[in-house]
């Protein structure tokens, strides 16, 4: 076991976040470099073996297509901005075969959508994905357990990282389990990083001690009632405070009324659906709690200076290569 080389096949989806990939590659490289030995090896895989573009516009050369996957110890799936836009039966089949052959499968960011689509998630599996896509994930897969942790590890060999730096946290934990704490500590120290526990929450800004507690609780209620918004006086009643007090505190901290804050929160929720999903504008408007498209469009334009349709078209033109859009 001491001399075993552990293999990682990293499956990249169009418009994947390059920061997650770089963190993985650096973690593996540092150990090999420090130990003057090949302890970890990896291949970059795309569905068609062609080069692929990350969300920041960089192009990455693939080492092979799905046929190059040969029972690796780990498969890492790094999802892209539109996780279910291009469903690949070939990819889902490859994931199912790898799982059957006991490869550990790690889903990074929206890679969780691909694992769900492949049918590998059972009722005991606990999933996490980036907080921006959590609501979208719940809409698509309401029966799957999802948490806001930075990563999860399941007994069935499925692991999930929320994206960003959490990818490094999960990789360090995997390395610690297979090679020991000395190895994972060595990597963390080289990267000047202190690993976090998996139970760490992705978002803690709503619990900033400098923010009034009533406002924090109000925002949590708002976030849980997006599709069917509550009236502000109902929120105040739930918090055993007066409407006037709630308004005064919101103006003091956020320089806006709780009504406007709530509308902005729903618009940002809709923005994430526009970004990650292919739903129609009127459907997104409804999911975000707007009864009238005109109100949604006007509210959206006030924040982003574009209509929802213009916004969607703009970011896709910015991020997607025409070949990807047309394929």
> What is the pLDDT at residue 213?
86
Which residues lie closer than 8 Å to 20 by C-beta, 6 or more apart? 78, 108, 109, 161, 163, 164, 167
HSE-CB of 32 using CA atoms within 13 angstroms:
15
Q: What is the pLDDT of residues 233-282, one digit of tens each?
A: 999 999 999 999 999 999 999 999 999 999 999 999 998 888 777 789 99
CB atoms within 10 A of CB 102: 9
Domain 6-190 matches domain 205-319 at the CATH topology level: no
Partners of 74 in the β-ladder: 8, 104
% of the chain exceeding 70 in pLDDT: 92
pLDDT-derived band at 313, boundaries 50, 70, 90: confident
The ranges assigned to domains in the chain are 6-190, 205-319
R_g over Cα of the chain: 22
Its pTM stands at: 0.81
Higher pLDDT, 313 or 125: 125
> What is the pLDDT at residue 324?
43
Q: CA separation (Å) from 129 to 60, 94, 136, 315? A: 24, 21, 10, 21
> What is the pLDDT at residue 116?
95
Q: Return the CATH number of the domain spanning residue range 6-190.
A: 3.40.50.880
14-18, 35-39, 54-58, 291-295 — which is least confidently predicted? 35-39
> What is the pLDDT at residue 35?
78
Partners of 105 in the β-ladder: 75, 158
Q: CA 12 to CA 319: how far, in whole Å?
A: 16
> What is the pLDDT at residue 200?
84
> What is the pLDDT at residue 206?
47
Q: What's the burial of 291, exposed, middle or buried (CB within 10 Å: 0-12/13-18/19+)? A: exposed
> What is the pLDDT at residue 204?
59
CATH class of the domain comprising 205-319: mainly alpha
pLDDT at 227 over 50: yes
> What is the pLDDT at residue 202?
79
């Amino acid at each position: 076991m001491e001399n075993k080389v552990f293999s990682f096949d990293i499956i990249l989806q169009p418009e994947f976040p390059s920061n997650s990939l770089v963190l993985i590659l650096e973690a593996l490289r540092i150990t090999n470099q420090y130990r003057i030995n090949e302890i970890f090896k990896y291949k970059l895989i795309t569905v068609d073996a062609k080069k692929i573009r990350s969300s920041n516009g960089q192009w990455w050369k693939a080492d092979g297509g799905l046929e190059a996957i040969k029972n690796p110890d780990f498969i890492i799936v790094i999802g892209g901005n539109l996780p279910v836009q291009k469903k690949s039966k070939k990819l889902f089949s490859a994931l199912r075969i790898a799982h059957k052959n006991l490869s550990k499968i790690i889903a990074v960011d929206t890679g969780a959508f691909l694992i769900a689509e492949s049918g590998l998630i059972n009722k005991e599996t606990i999933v996490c994905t980036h907080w921006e896509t959590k609501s979208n994930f719940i809409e698509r897969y309401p029966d799957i357990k999802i948490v806001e942790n930075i990563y999860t590890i399941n007994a069935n060999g499925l692991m999930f990282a929320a994206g960003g730096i959490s990818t490094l946290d999960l990789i360090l934990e995997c390395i610690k389990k297979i090679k020991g704490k000395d190895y994972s500590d060595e990597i963390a120290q080289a990267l000047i990083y202190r690993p976090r526990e998996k139970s760490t929450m992705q978002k803690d800004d709503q619990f900033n001690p400098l923010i009034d507690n009533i406002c924090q609780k109000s925002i949590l209620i708002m976030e849980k009632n997006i599709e069917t918004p509550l009236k502000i006086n109902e929120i105040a009643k739930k918090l055993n405070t007066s409407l006037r007090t709630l308004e005064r505190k919101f103006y003091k901290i956020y320089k806006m009324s709780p009504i406007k804050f709530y509308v902005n929160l729903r618009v940002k929720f809709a923005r994430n659906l526009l970004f990650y999903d292919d739903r129609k504008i009127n459907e997104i408007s409804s999911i975000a709690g707007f009864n009238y498209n005109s109100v949604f469009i006007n509210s959206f334009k006030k924040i982003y200076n574009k209509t929802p349709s213009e916004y969607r078209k703009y970011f896709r033109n910015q991020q997607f290569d025409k070949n990807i859009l047309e394929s």
